[in-house]
Amino acid sequence: MEYAYGRVSAKDQNLDRQIAEFIKFGVSERNIFAEKKSGKDFERAAYKRLISTLKSGDLLIIKSIDRLGRNYDEIIFEWDRIVNGIKADILVLDMPLLDTRVKKDTLIGKFISDIVLQILSFVAENERTNIKARQAEGIKTARAKGVKFGRPKTQYTKQFLAVVKQYKSGLLSQKQAAFLVGMSRQGFSYHLKKLYT
């Protein structure tokens, strides 16, 4: 049986190109496992479902090695688990040398496949490290320019502040104060704490 696994890191990225490649290759849509999840580890729901589905003799197709993951040690471990543990084959569409069906019984075929896998796994993790470094640089530069991250501080209206003043001076109960500003008692209490912390 042929299966395929597609992945993108962000929710705003598109899986269509990978899925189209799998269908073009001949993989049935019901056998395509795809998700929008970081490749930093293999704690991914669709990937786990795929692994529990794979059987000996099956073929797993991926578009490129970095779609499998971006952690060098974990890519090598998962590759070994699929090929030697489950005894399924893997084909990487963007790198035909990574096809465990070809020359897997010859020493030279295994040697070439292992070297290419290790190089590409290194490249995938290195790219992830570079992305993180670029993000950190961007954040540092933005902070130096005065850009604030996170939620903006809540701005309270004059009406809210006047009601809080009356509540603090004992002229209003918490229930009355909350009613006047259109909040539940819990909501009023939350914003009161936020105002004074």
Whether the CB-CB separation of 75 and 41 falls below 8 Å is answered with no
How far apart are the two ends of the chain, measured CA to CA in Å? 60
Give the 3-state DSSP-derived string for 73-100, with helices as H, strands as E and coil as C: HHHHHHHHHHHHHHCCEEEECCCCCCEC
Q: How far apart are CA 62 and CA 90, in angstroms?
A: 8
38 is catalytic: no
Q: Which 3 state secondary structure label does DSSP give 4?
A: strand
Residue numbers annotated as active site:
9
